[in-house]
Amino acid sequence: MKYVLFIIGIILSLFGFLMVTGVLIGITNGDPEYSLASKIVSMIFLGIVPLAGGIVLCIFAAKKWRKAKVKQQICGKCNCSLEPGWTACPHCGEKVSLTN
């Protein structure tokens, strides 16, 4: 369940990348069916927006994992779990690094 945001972000990014690639291929082929302005608008809405949204979701998922990692921090001396934001164990007083 914790990988859902990351997977959705990757799928959304891939969709956006494929749409940008498809529109760029259509522009370079010189297909007269649609105007250049409509191709650029479709590239922005169907390609760049999902690509950026997927990247934002992946970054959000990574921050969420980092926050969960800090929450699950364990003291090495007495083996108790620490609350987020604590720099020392409340039981034994050992200093704990927040970067694992």
Beta-strand runs (E) in the chain: none
- Report pLDDT for 76: 59
- Report pLDDT for 99: 47
Give yes or no for a contact between 54 and 16, defined as CB atoms under 8 angstroms apart: yes
- Report pLDDT for 97: 57
Phi, psi of 40 (to 5 degrees): -70, -40
* Mean pLDDT per 10-residue interval, the chain, length 100 residues: 85 95 88 85 94 93 75 58 60 56
- Report pLDDT for 100: 44
- Report pLDDT for 20: 94
Domain ranges of the chain: 4-71
Q: Is the pTM of this model over 0.85?
A: no
Q: What is residue 95's three-state secondary structure?
A: strand
Give yes or no for a contact between 82 and 75, defined as CB atoms under 8 angstroms apart: yes
CA distance 29 to 16: 20
- Report pLDDT for 47: 93
Q: Residue 31 CA to chain centroid, in angstroms?
A: 35
- Report pLDDT for 73: 59
